Amino acid sequence: MTPTTETMVGIGGAAESTDMVLNIGPQHPSTHGVLRLRLVLDGERITSAEPVIGYMHRGAEKLFEARDYRQIIVLANRHDWLSAFSNELGVVLAVERMLGMEVPSRAVWLRTLLAELNRVLNHLMFLGSYPLELGGITPVFYAFREREVLQNVMEEVSGGRMHYMFNRVGGLKEDLPAGWTTRARAAVAAVRSRMDVFDDLVLGNEIFRGRTRGVGALTPEAVHAYGVSGPIARASGVDFDLRRDEPYLAYGELQDTLKVVTRQEGDCLARFECLLEQTHNALDLADACLDRLAELPPGPVNQRLPKVLKAPEGHTYAWTENPLGINGYYLVSKGEKTPYRLKLRSASYNNIQALTELLPGTLVADMVAILGSLFFVVGDIDK
């Protein structure tokens, strides 16, 4: 009989389940910039998540108080660097409301057109970058091709590629270059003709669908609790869009063209589908604006302003349906040439808070898929 040897190994408490704290960021490829996620893990599963923000904070709201109403536009268009025109819009709408100023009809329709082109530019970036985060590199090249087509017409009209500085209190900086509407219409048609690439390459990809379907489902109750808005809220069945429900600019006359895209699932796939379908609708709205501009007679695109512009004493709140969600400016004036207070309510700030609800219970492997599907810009969080 062969002798046997028994060995006892003391493992102590180390074999028991222990939580691990994992920091994603603040410098990390999957965080869209300088965002930090503090995750507590039990094995491969996330038990709690805390978004840690503020690494990019530049104090824009305080800087607003030291700039006059012309100068604050240059600060306001930078927090969401993919939606500069829409950011400017909220500020000038607030100041115009304080002044009781009526903007020329031509400027109203031009603002609406440029806001929708800006929406397409914003969405194309996420339509390309989200598959990239899940391992699909090809769509981002198509997204940038389409963005360049639209960037060219936006740059021609405003002089800027990202920070347009084209809005002014009372209208727009200047009228359109000769023949611009023809080139803009051709750009919209060219982009629309190639949008099926995202249906075929992305939505038709079984790996993409496998990584996103049923992952990171956000309930309507959580949407309301955290103040989530935009395509993310509508993907969870919250049917709210300021362009339809509280129309501004020319959206009241575009209700037949405007389509508010919703889904019920609230998962990563639903959020991507909402973004894609909303891009199609924004192109339709741009065409409708171009049709209306063709019917308008030539006229001014701005109001004459005094050399020193002062808003009367009082306060107002102007909110717009920005590409990423609700963007609001609360303006308080003491009758001076600078705002006494200008508070910014940015879409990404609220939307990113939902991660504390979405990530617990999911796997680390799904974290990037959920994070990317929230379609945020870090500057829009930190302000």
pLDDT tens for residues 67-106?
Answer: 999 899 999 988 988 999 999 999 999 999 999 999 999 9
Q: What angle do CA 197, 289, 325 make, to 5 degrees?
A: 65
**Roughly what angle, to the nearest 10 degrees, separates helices 180-193 and 138-158?**
170
Is residue 15 predicted with pLDDT exceeding 80?
no
Residue 9 pLDDT grade (very low, low, confident, very high; cuts 50, 70, 90): very low
Q: What is the mean pLDDT of residues 198-211?
A: 91
Q: What percent of the chain has pLDDT above 90?
A: 79
**What whole-number distance in Å separates Cα of residue 8 and Cα of residue 3?**
17
Residues 6+ apart with CB under 8 A from 246: 319
Q: Give the model's pLDDT for residue 30.
A: 55
Q: In what order do the strands lie in the sheet with 325-333?
A: 314-322, 325-333, 341-345
Residue 19 pLDDT grade (very low, low, confident, very high; cuts 50, 70, 90): confident
Residue 31 pLDDT grade (very low, low, confident, very high; cuts 50, 70, 90): low
Q: Are 34 and 55 in contact (CB under 8 A)?
A: yes
Is residue 6 predicted with pLDDT exceeding 80?
no
Can you give the pTM of this predicted structure? 0.91
Q: What is the mean pLDDT of residues 32-37?
A: 80
The number of residues making up the chain comes to 383
Terminal alpha carbon distance of the chain? 78
